[in-house]
């Protein structure tokens, strides 16, 4: 179930597949071995970033695939090569942002990309049952859930319901420390840093809030990284837990 584009950026005897691919070639080669068994966590991450570059450059390939074939291949089982915990914001369509297609990603979406037991359990399922070895926590600029939390902390704003308040309560520990810094005087800078702080806390909660995930990190090289999607440019920037080059 591995499409040709998933190999872009992966090293093949010191030569990248991107160097080997000619125009249209990535669409001609059918899916074959399972993605999670073929891609290392680093290569899976590279595949996502290559996909984001295609998205930014308006060179999408995922929507040119044979949907009938994909439906047939994925009807009985799924073999995603990465998991993404993302905000539920309608402006952050995860598969589109990374130029991935049907069955490629196991996506968990919740306002503010917060981590609660159900989100941890979902990631555990993807890692343990589906074999994904990469987890990306994807926040985004202008996150309404993060801004709502800042409004509660700074201006004693009220949430419309207890359920919405539970989201604010999960974001609060990540951002309240920023209000003790000079950032409190700059609304835009505070919002930007708060989004990233919230992603870092969520990524750490996945790394250290589950014995299952901890074991997979230690024994199987599971990679958990934090990233931010820019609503204006479409660019995804990795900034937390990213492997060092080399």
pLDDT means over runs of 10, the chain (246 residues): 42 30 34 59 97 97 86 92 98 98 96 98 97 98 97 92 96 96 95 98 97 97 98 98 80
131 φψ region: left (φ > 0), alpha (ψ -120 to 50), beta (else): left
210 φψ region: left (φ > 0), alpha (ψ -120 to 50), beta (else): beta
Cβ atoms of residues 1 and 31 within 8 Å:
yes
Q: Return the bridge partners of 227, or none.
A: 138, 238
CB contact burial 45-58 (16+ within 10 A = b; e otherwise)? bbbbbbbbbbbeee
The pLDDT score that the predictor gives to residue 246 is 57
Cβ atoms of residues 183 and 190 within 8 Å:
yes
Q: How far is CA 27 from CA 37, 43, 109, 140, 195, in A?
A: 21, 19, 29, 30, 36
How would you class 211 by CB atoms within 10 Å of its CB: exposed for 0-12, middle for 13-18, buried for 19 or more? Answer: exposed
Q: Say which residue the tokens 């070639």 belong to.
A: 25
- State how far Cα 117 lies from the chain centre: 18
Cβ atoms of residues 229 and 140 within 8 Å:
yes
The pLDDT score that the predictor gives to residue 75 is 94
Q: How far apart are alpha carbons 131 and 83 in whole angstroms?
A: 10
The pLDDT score that the predictor gives to residue 37 is 53
The CATH architecture of the domain made up of 4-240 is 3-Layer(aba) Sandwich (3.40)
Q: How far apart are alpha carbons 199 and 87 in whole angstroms?
A: 10
The pLDDT score that the predictor gives to residue 34 is 56
The pLDDT score that the predictor gives to residue 184 is 93
| Dihedral sign (CA 74, 78, 79, 82) | positive
> Who's near 183: CB < 8 A, 6+ residues apart?
189, 190, 193
Q: Return the bridge partners of 138, or none.
A: 86, 227
Q: Closest by alpha carbon to 245, among 6, 42, 51?
A: 42
Q: How far is CA 74 from CA 8, 35, 71, in A?
A: 22, 13, 5
The pLDDT score that the predictor gives to residue 23 is 36
Q: How far apart are alpha carbons 207 and 215 in whole angstroms?
A: 10
């Amino acid at each position: 179930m591995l499409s040709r584009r998933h190999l872009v950026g992966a090293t093949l005897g010191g030569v990248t597949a991107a160097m080997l691919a000619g125009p249209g070639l990535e669409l001609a080669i059918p899916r074959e071995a399972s993605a999670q068994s073929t891609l290392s966590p680093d290569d899976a991450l590279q595949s996502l970033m290559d996909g984001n570059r295609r998205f930014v450059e308006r060179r999408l390939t995922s929507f040119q695939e044979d949907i009938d074939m994909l439906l047939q291949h994925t009807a009985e089982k799924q073999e995603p090569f990465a998991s993404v915990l993302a905000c539920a914001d309608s402006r952050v369509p995860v598969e589109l942002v990374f130029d991935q297609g049907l069955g490629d990603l196991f996506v968990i979406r919740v306002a503010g990309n917060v981590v609660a037991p159900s989100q941890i359990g979902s990631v555990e399922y993807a890692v343990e049952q589906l074999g994904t070895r990469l987890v990306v926590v994807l926040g985004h600029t202008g996150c309404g859930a993060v801004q709502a939390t800042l409004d509660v902390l700074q201006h004693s704003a009220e949430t419309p319901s207890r359920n919405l308040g539970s989201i604010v309560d999960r974001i609060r520990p990540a951002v309240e420390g920023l209000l003790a810094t000079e950032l409190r005087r700059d609304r835009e800078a505070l919002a930007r840093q708060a989004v990233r702080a919230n992603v870092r806390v969520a990524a750490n909660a996945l790394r250290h809030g589950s014995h299952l995930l901890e074991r997979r990190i230690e024994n199987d090289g599971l990679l958990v990284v934090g990233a931010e999607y820019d609503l204006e440019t479409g660019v995804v920037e990795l900034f937390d837990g990213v492997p060092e080059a080399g």
